[in-house]
């Protein structure tokens, strides 16, 4: 149980770090497109400051938003796995992707049709963010499979 909790928290942290990485890269690419000089040092310092700013300031930290989405998606997946016999790895990967996609699609409804996540404004950005949810869910499902096999 403790290992499952640790892997759940690690899955949430992985997703949060990847979402913030995509947000930072989206903003940096925009700066480059308007001929702003951006070095690797600026990128790294911006990423680290975004990690803290998006999780420690504001009304709802991003990590809490992702945690709520993952907890709901993983709980529904656990219930579905009682009746459906499919791979846990793929089921939780789909759940992680669904959670991030739901966050990206539903956040504008909460903020007067404003996309808060700059990286999720385009279809490609939504795809990348959803892929990061898929990777995090895959990690969580894979650790459950490894734990069950032991």
Which pLDDT belongs to residue 68? Answer: 95
DSSP H/E element including 117: none
Q: Among residues 10, 1, 12, which one has the least CA distance to residue 99?
A: 12
Query: Are the beta carbons of 86 and 77 closer than 8 angstroms?
Result: no
Query: Are the beta carbons of 129 and 104 closer than 8 angstroms?
Result: yes
* pLDDT, average across residues 141-148: 83
Q: Kindly tell me if the per-residue pLDDT of 131 is higher than 80.
A: yes
Q: Which two tokens stand for residue 19?
A: 């979402």
Q: What is the pLDDT of residues 17-33, one digit of tens each?
A: 999 999 999 889 889 99
Report the greatest alpha carbon distance in the chain: 55
| Overall domain count for the chain | 1
Residue 52 CA to residue 81 CA, distance in Å, equals 36
Q: Which two tokens stand for residue 41?
A: 């040092």
User: Domain range spanning residue 121?
Assistant: 2-149
* pLDDT, average across residues 57-61: 77
Which pLDDT belongs to residue 4? Answer: 82
Look at 58-67, 89-98, 127-136 and tell me which has the smallest mean pLDDT: 58-67
Q: Kindly tell me if the per-residue pLDDT of 1 is higher than 70.
A: no
Mean pLDDT score across all residues of the chain: 89
Task: Kindly report the pTM of this predicted structure.
Answer: 0.89
Which pLDDT belongs to residue 149? Answer: 67
């Amino acid at each position: 149980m403790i290992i499952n909790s640790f892997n759940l928290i690690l899955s949430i942290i992985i997703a949060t770090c990847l979402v913030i990485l995509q947000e930072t890269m989206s903003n940096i690419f925009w700066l480059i497109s308007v001929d702003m000089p951006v070095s690797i040092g600026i990128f790294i310092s911006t990423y680290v400051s975004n990690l803290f700013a998006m999780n420690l300031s504001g009304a709802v930290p991003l990590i809490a938003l992702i945690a709520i989405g993952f907890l709901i998606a993983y709980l529904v997946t656990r219930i579905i796995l009682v009746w459906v016999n499919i791979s846990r790895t793929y089921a939780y990967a789909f759940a992680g992707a669904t959670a991030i996609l739901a966050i990206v699609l539903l956040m504008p409804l909460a903020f007067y049709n404003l996309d808060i996540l700059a990286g999720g404004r385009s279809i490609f950005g939504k795809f990348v963010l959803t892929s990061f949810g898929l990777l995090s869910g895959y990690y969580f499902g894979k650790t459950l499979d490894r734990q069950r096999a032991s």
